[in-house]
Amino acid sequence: MKVFAYGCSFTRYNWPSYADILGLHYETYNRGNSGSGNERIFYHFMEDIKKNNISSNDLVILQWSGTDRFNYLKSNNLWIGDGNILLAHNQSIFKRIKQWYNPEYEIEKSVNFIIGARAISKNIGCKLIEMSLLPIENIDRNFLENDLQGTYHGTYEFKNFPWKTYRGKIFIDNHPTLLQHYDITKRIVDNLELDFDIDNSVIYNLDQQIKNDDTFGFDYKF
C-alpha cells in the first residue's frame, strides 16, 4: 500500500507531520504545501489521478483547508496565495480580486472539490481519509477530524523566530506538535485497521529536540 497525502501546512511543515510518520512504515507521498487552499489541494490530487499513480491498493488522505484561501497557478508555474486571503501578507493579492471575490462561492467550490474527490476515490476503490483544517459549511461531517486547528493547537515555543514581528519575543507555533501528529497518525491507523509497526522512540526523541531548540528550525527530520 502506498499513501498519498494532500493538504496545507498541517500536512507538510518544518517538522514531520502525520503523513511523514506514516512514511516510517509505508511508501508515502506527501503532497502538502503551506498556505494551500482547497483548489490547490484538489489540483495536486488530480495530478496523481491523471498520471494513474493511485491504485485500489492505496490510501488517499485529503486534508482540506480553509475556504478563505485563494490560490492561483500562474503561467510561470508558480502558485500565488499563502493562507487566508484577508490576512495582511495577502493584501496585495486581495486588492486585485476584491471586486469579484465571493466567499460563498469559495465555500461552494470546496464542497464540489470534496464531492468530486470522494467520487473519484470510490471509482478507483482506494481507501480514503478526510480531515479539514477548519469546519467546512454545507457538507456532511464525514471526516476523521473536522477541526484540526481547534483540536490540535501546537505548543512549541521559540525565542528567535525569524519574522520581525516576533524579534525579542517568545513565539508559540500553533501547528500541531510532533506528538499531536502522532495522535492523528494513530487515529488514521485505527480507523482503517492498518498494520503499523515503527520504533516510536524516533518520534519522542525528535519531539524533545524541537522543545529544546531555542531557535526556530526550518528542517527537522527523523
Is residue 167 domain-resident? no
Is residue 80 domain-resident? yes
Is residue 32 domain-resident? yes
Is residue 131 domain-resident? yes
Domain boundaries, position 16:
2-151+177-212
Q: How many domains does the chain have?
A: 1
Is residue 204 domain-resident? yes
Is residue 99 domain-resident? yes
- Looking at residue 34, the DSSP 8-state letter turns out to be T
Collapsing DSSP to helix, strand or coil, 182 comes out as helix
> φ and ψ at 64, to 5 degrees?
-70, 155
Is residue 219 domain-resident? no
**Average confidence score pLDDT of the chain:** 92
pLDDT band per the 50, 70, 90 thresholds, residue 218: low
Residue-wise pLDDT for 51-86, tens only, equals 999 999 999 999 999 999 989 999 999 998 888 877
Residues 179-199: what's their mean pLDDT? 97
User: What's the rounded Cα separation, in Å, for the pair 65 and 69?
Assistant: 8
Residue-wise pLDDT for 86-126, tens only, equals 777 778 888 888 899 999 999 999 999 999 999 999 999 99
Residue-wise pLDDT for 17-51, tens only, equals 999 999 999 999 999 999 999 999 999 999 999 99
Residue % of the chain over a pLDDT of 70: 95
User: What's the rounded Cα separation, in Å, for the pair 203 and 199?
Assistant: 8
From residue 20, give the alpha-carbon distance in Å to each of 14, 115, 149, 207: 11, 26, 19, 14
Is residue 222 domain-resident? no
DSSP β-bridge partners for residue 60: 4, 128
3-state helix, strand, coil in the chain (%, to 5): 40, 15, 45
Residues 132-146: what's their mean pLDDT? 90
What is the CA 16 to chain-centroid distance, rounded? Answer: 11
